[in-house]
Amino acid sequence: MTVTELIAHLRCFDGDHRVVVRGYEEGVDDILPPRGVEIVLDVHDEDWNGPHDMVESAGEPAILIAGVRPR
């Protein structure tokens, strides 16, 4: 999904809605501010891994939206 596609999806919701991601096992977590990362596509084929991987450099630009558990 691109930033433009994500924004189009988010426009369907009230701007005051909280944004969350699935928790590690159960529940949902609040999100951290998005940050730029670089990724390599389609490097994992195991069910328990996401298909792409983050790299330090020479990857494709992407935006990471990650959850954080409140303390």
pLDDT in tens, 2-12: 999 999 999 99
Contact 20, 28 (CB under 8 A): yes
Contact 59, 38 (CB under 8 A): yes
For residue range 11-43, what is the model confidence (pLDDT) as tens digits?
A: 999 999 999 998 888 899 999 999 999 999 999
What is the model's pLDDT at position 71? 61
* pTM (2 d.p.): 0.75
| Structural domain for 27, as ranges | 3-68
**Mean predicted lDDT score pLDDT of the chain:** 92
For residue range 37-61, what is the model confidence (pLDDT) as tens digits?
A: 999 999 999 988 999 999 999 899 9
Q: What is the dihedral of CA 19, 21, 23, 24, to 10 degrees?
A: -150
Domains: count for the chain: 1
Strands 28-31, 67-68: pairing is: antiparallel
